[in-house]
Amino acid sequence: MQSKDFKRHRIDVVSGLSGIGLEIGFGSGLNLPYYKSITRLYGLDPSKELYEMAHKNLQAVTFPIEQILGSAEHIPLPENSLDFVVSTWTLCTIPHPDLALKEVFRVLKPGGKFCFIEHGKSPKTFIWRIQNLLTPISKCIAGGCHLNRDIEHLIRDAGFKIQNLEKFSQGPKPLGFMYKGVGIKSL
Ligand SMILES: C[S@@+](CC[C@H](N)C(=O)[O-])C[C@H]1O[C@@H](n2cnc3c(N)ncnc32)[C@H](O)[C@@H]1O
């Protein structure tokens, strides 16, 4: 997840952001080098191991950052408090992505941005069937990763208005159907 292609997507998703924000599925902080002008970041992830691994990446940042050990289904931040929320390849892994996205919607200010790159359901029926077959295996061997989630519908169902969305294949077809874009909390 540190290849040239992944790096390009990370830059696309976070480099234009400003204000106060949150990353769900913060992991080891691989997006940190690409934030350019934010005021403060919360990094939320349930993994203690990744929490420790992120420490090295935290040293290099110039903005205040607070790590939160927790799940996106219960974000311990007030409603209408954030300018942006970022998710990079995380909605595949969260056990209840619908609840997590409702929480993301709750904590964003009106007009706030949900900026994401995710992999999920292929529009090709044949590939989607393969994704359905492989998902029980990928859940076991890849930390709970679902290959077949309909990312666009999940985001729309949480109440977001999609401002822009790119959908494209990258890498092995069942693993790499990508959704990159921005959802707006417009009331
Ligand atoms: C494939 S990794 C992506 C990590 C990071 N976003 C990146 O781009 O490198 C998925 C991440 O989702 C996290 N995760 C799993 N369940 C979660 C939950 N309920 N809430 C928030 N994050 C979760 C994992 O711990 C892991 O860090």
Q: CA–CA separation, 124 vs 25, rounded Å?
A: 28
Check if the beta carbon of residue 24 is closer than 8 Å to that of residue 72: yes
**Which CATH number belongs to the domain containing residue 139 in this structure?**
3.40.50.150
Q: In total, how many domains does the chain have?
A: 1
Residue type, 111: G
Selection from 185, 43, 167, 26 nearest residue 113 by Cα: 185
164 Cβ contact partners less than 8 Å away, ≥ 6 residues apart: 181, 182
pTM: 0.96
Q: Is 134 helix (H, G, I), strand (E, B) or coil?
A: helix
Q: How far does the centroid of ligand 1 lie from the alpha carbon of residue 153, in Å? A: 20
Whose alpha carbon is nearest atom 13 of ligand 1?
Answer: 25
pLDDT tens digits along 37-79:
999 999 999 999 999 999 888 988 999 999 999 999 999 999 9
Residue type, 137: I
Ligand 1, residues at Cβ distance < 6 Å? 1, 24-25, 27, 30, 44-47, 50, 71-73, 88-90, 93-95
The runs of H, that is alpha helices, within 69-124 are: 97-107
* pLDDT value for 172: 81
* pLDDT value for 60: 85
Note down the domain range covering 110.
4-184
Q: How far does the centroid of ligand 1 lie from the alpha carbon of residue 95, in Å? A: 10
User: pLDDT at residue 173 above 90?
Assistant: no
Q: How far does the centroid of ligand 1 lie from the alpha carbon of residue 136, in Å? A: 18
Q: Which two tokens stand for residue 118?
A: 């995710």
User: pLDDT at residue 90 above 90?
Assistant: yes
